Amino acid sequence: MSTRRATILDVARQAGVSPSTASVVFSGKTPVSDATRRRVLDAAESLGYTGPDPRAASLRRGRSGIVGVVFEEHLGAAFQDPVKILVMDGLTDGVAALGAGLLLLRDDGPAGVEPTVTSAPLDAAVLIGCSGRMRESLEILRGRGIPVVVIEGDAGEGIPQIRLDNREAQRHAASHLRSLGHARVAIVSLPKDRARIPGLIVDESGIEVDVTRDRLRGARDIFPDAPAYAAVKSSIDEGLAAGRVLLADPADRPTAIIAQSDLLAAGVLRAAEEAGLRVPEDLSVTGFDGIVVDGLAPYVLTTLVQPATDKGRAAGQAVAAMLEGRDAASILFTCEFREGNTTGPAPDQPAKSRKVAAFGA
Partner DNA sequence: TTGTACGCGTTATCAA
Partner DNA sequence: TTGATAACGCGTACAA
Q: Which of residues 163-222 bind a second copy (CB under 8 A)?
A: none
Q: Which stretch binds DNA (CB under 7 A): 18-26, 100-108, 129-137, 153-161?
A: 18-26
Q: How far apart are CA 8 and CA 13, in angstroms?
A: 9
Q: Does 5 bind a second copy (CB under 8 A)?
A: yes
Give the total of residues touching a second copy (CB under 8 A): 63
Which residue type sits at 193?
D
| Nearest approach, Cβ of residue 68 and a second copy (Å) | 8
Q: Does 76 bind a second copy (CB under 8 A)?
A: yes
Which residue type sits at 221?
D
361 binds, among DNA, a second copy, none (CB under 5 to 8 A by kind): none
Pick 5 or 357: Cβ nearer a second copy: 5
Q: How far apart are CA 278 and CA 269, in angstroms?
A: 9
CB 289 within 8 A of CB 304: yes
278 binds, among a second copy, DNA, none (CB under 5 to 8 A by kind): none
Q: How far apart are CA 226 and CA 357, in angstroms?
A: 8
- Pick the binder of a second copy from 235, 275, 337, 355 (CB under 8 A): 235
- Pick the binder of DNA from 45, 46, 48, 60 (CB under 7 A): 60
- Pick the binder of DNA from 33, 76, 99, 297 (CB under 7 A): 33
CB 314 within 8 A of CB 241: no
Residue 305: beta bridge partners?
A: 289, 336
- Pick the binder of a second copy from 171, 172, 270, 311 (CB under 8 A): 270
Provide the 10 A C-beta neighbour count for residue 269.
26
- Pick the binder of DNA from 14, 23, 234, 284 (CB under 7 A): 23
Q: Does 294 bind a second copy (CB under 8 A)?
A: yes
Cβ contacts of residue 111 below 8 Å, gap of 6+? Answer: none
Pick 88 or 322: Cβ nearer a second copy: 88
| Nearest approach, Cβ of residue 68 and DNA (Å) | 18
Q: Which stretch binds a second copy (CB under 8 A): 139-147, 207-215, 327-335, 352-360?
A: 139-147
Q: Which of residues 14-73 bind a second copy (CB under 8 A)?
A: 48, 50-59, 62, 64-66, 68
Q: Which stretch binds a second copy (CB under 8 A): 108-116, 174-182, 212-220, 328-336?
A: 108-116
Which residue type sits at 120?
A
Q: Which stretch binds DNA (CB under 7 A): 27-35, 198-206, 228-236, 305-313?
A: 27-35
Pick 124 or 305: Cβ nearer DNA: 124
Q: Where are the beta strands (DSSP E) in the chain?
A: 66-71, 101-106, 124-128, 148-151, 161-164, 185-189, 199-200, 228-230, 256-259, 284-286, 303-305, 331-333, 336-338
Q: Does 106 bind a second copy (CB under 8 A)?
A: yes
CB 153 within 8 A of CB 131: yes
> Long-range pairs for 45-53 at CB < 8 Å and ≥24 separation?
46/14, 47/6, 47/10, 47/11, 47/14, 48/5, 48/6, 49/5, 49/6, 49/7, 49/8, 49/10, 49/11, 51/26, 52/8, 52/23, 52/26, 52/27, 53/7
| Longest pairwise C-alpha distance within the chain | 93
| Nearest approach, Cβ of residue 61 and a second copy (Å) | 9
CB 120 within 8 A of CB 84: no
- Pick the binder of a second copy from 102, 180, 201, 323 (CB under 8 A): 102
The residues binding a second copy (CB under 8 A) are 5, 48, 50-59, 62, 64-66, 68, 74-76, 79-80, 85-86, 88-89, 92, 96-97, 99-106, 109-110, 112-114, 116, 118-122, 140, 143-145, 235-237, 240, 263, 266-267, 270, 294-295, 297
